[in-house]
Structure 1
């Protein structure tokens, strides 16, 4: 089964509510989706989520990167994973979301060839997982209101985004904890918003107030590994590395220095499933647990991420809530999302059967 062609399309999915990213309010999720076609006529699906503030990629850069990579992998046998991945990652620097789309489609095809779902192909540890729900950085009143609604809707784990102002950050987390019952897990995502000593002071305040924070995500700048280690070494609360970990080499630096207690794996950051496996294996071998995260991705990306998470015993946490923000989805098949539960089906590959309103990019 050899790669014969890659077709690209653009899909725009309306969101139920505006989603705040930096200074922008998103009302649609725009993604590039691909159909990888083989010489046997089989189709593999992949997708790339443009996230300029994190990966530096836009929809146009993703299209350009895939067009650049395409001739390098046409004609390669999808069973020769090592060869394909070497060509994929050596063909162009960076552009990890574009690479992830191609990587996901390759794994979809490989699993279809053998008639096995992706989660079983990768390990088959479980068939479902529970995701948190993100409470975006807003006023105290808005964040408390959204947290209470989430709990009423059955969510048991909230990820509270902060990082704009030290005093306000403490008040926001304190208010959310006061509003929800103790049985609700709270994760705090600072989005690189604090300096190392500042982060230690804030997290110790959380501890002194007894706010029972499960972990704090990326408290300092992604490039500041020593600063991240300083925070990890000086607080009792667990610290998770997110933006600090793109590919396997980043994960190695974090693990080598013990700069964080946990590592977040995102397919759009690391370049797909193949690199995610490498990061996961390093972390597991060194006794560091992982969380599966995502960008603002549609059902293709979420199914791939959830399948990876469901396949591994050391992926103990999930932050895969973006499907909950979509008003509707053009992707037919894939993982089922019901509240905070994501269930993987036993269809071969990703289980994606169609893309409604496919608008091919010439």
Structure 2
């Protein structure tokens, strides 16, 4: 019998190459709790949880404590019966989706190792690689245009542009500047991070449409709780609207889908509480004919490996926002996914493909 034997947590902080700015926050380093689970037969599984308090409400201290509490209910459970484990994982605490996601990742890492399959194959194996976009932080129009041109030269074909920090009119100037700089060959998608109100969103999106700025989609234009407002924007614009912060759980997804409040859904493991719930959200969206994107917070390659394995395994996930590790000054995770410019490739090692011995050495050294 292969049972869960122990759980360790580690704090990490990895500086970014450039501050990451959105309507909600400015980030200068990727901070996270790393979760290390071991089984009775000596296998290691890893997960990651960044404290994105303005979105999930989680802090480093809170994640650590939640992981500790949850694992007291998981100790001794057999990973060959995963549904029993996931039931306990999601019933032990209300909320705490980041802590749950980190444990969930580590569990799936172990479960796929036990099956002797890379996680993407264990989950479905739909794609062998995926292509990520790259995010342009919100700044002055000229700086954003220069950043967009730089990322285009690096080989990225899709840019996710952050807006919503001040006024929609200023956002329009930002998009005009970017289009003037890079032309029409690059796909642009916008993320307002809840920064607009419904009427302003409709007005500014209609202006972008009339000017031919060619925006692929607009992500979370209004406040997360304003589903009626999200529906208003979706119904009064031609540009596809994506729900992000409005959808944490399958219950949230069902409400958005039943109301036809959005054209697309962005699934993030930190919001959903991990892969187990993300699969449910995706299946629900697929039943309504709604495609999904999988995104992430500012995470290392560990968290992105789990998200990418999930996304690549599912045909209904058609867009990928996995650029966070490329923003970091160093890669501290041995193994996992690899990047070739915008293309992400998967290890053929079982699970997430993390080199456990090397990674643990790094974590312990950084702990001091």
TM range (shorter): over 0.9
Deviation at 1:242, TM superposition (A): 0.3
Tell me what 1:40 maps to. Answer: 41
Q: What per-residue deviation string (whole Å, max 9, x for no partner) do you get for residues 255-287 of structure 1?
A: 111100000000011000000000000011110
Q: Distance in 2 between matches of 1:54 and 1:361?
A: 27
Aligned alpha-carbon RMSD (Å)? 1.4
Question: What is the SS of the residue equivalent to 1:198?
Answer: helix
Spell out, residue by residue over 1:201-222, the C-alpha distance to the aligned partner (whole angstroms, 9 max, x if none): 0100010000110000000000
Q: Residues 7 and 37 of structure 2 are in contact (CA less than 8 Å); yes or no, is this contact kept in structure 1?
A: yes
Trace 1:103-182 onto structure 2 (pairs within 5 A): 103-163=104-164, 164-182=166-184
**SS of alignment partner, residue 5 of structure 2:** strand
Aligned residues: 362
Once the 2 structures are TM-superposed, how far is the Cα of residue 357 of structure 1 from its aligned partner? 2.2
Residue 91 of structure 2 is matched in structure 1 by 90
Between the aligned partners of 2:227 and 2:121, the Cα distance in structure 1 is 35
Match of 1:357 in 2: 362
| Larger CA deviation: 350-359 vs 170-179 | 350-359
Q: Which residue of 2 aligns with 1:281?
A: 283
Deviations 1:169-191 (A, max 9, x none): 11111111121121210001111
Structure 1 residue ranges without an equivalent (≥5): none
1:76 corresponds to which residue?
77
Greater shift after overlay, 338-347 or 258-267? Answer: 338-347
Q: Does residue 208 of the first structure (1) align with residue 210 of the second (2)?
A: yes
Deviations 1:42-82 (A, max 9, x none): 11111111101111111111001011111111011112222
Deviation at residue 22 of structure 1 after TM alignment: 5.3
TM-score by length of 2: 0.96
Distance 1:66 1:116 in 2: 26
Does structure 1 retain, via aligned residues, the 8 Å contact 2:24–2:193? no
CA offsets per residue over residues 124-179 of structure 1, 9 Å max, x none? 01111111111111001100110111111111111111112121011111111121
Aligned residue runs from structure 1 range 177-192, under 5 A: 177-192=179-194
Decide whether the 8 Å contact of 1:134 with 1:158 is kept in 2.
Answer: yes
1:276-330 Cα distance to aligned partner (Å, 9 max, x none): 0000000111100000100011111100011111111111101111011011121
Unaligned runs of 5+ in 2: none
Structure-2 separation of matches of 1:330 and 1:216: 33
Matches within 5 A, 1:54-73: 54-73=55-74
TM-score scaled to structure 1, two decimals?
0.97
1:317-336 aligned within 5 A: 317-336=319-338
| Contact kept? 1:324, 1:339, Cα under 8 Å | no
Q: Is the 8 A contact 2:22 2:193 kept in 1?
A: no
Partners of 1:260 and 1:196 in 2: how far apart?
13
Partner residue, 2:299: 297
Asked if structure 2 preserves the Cα contact closer than 8 Å seen for 1:292 and 1:315, the reply is yes
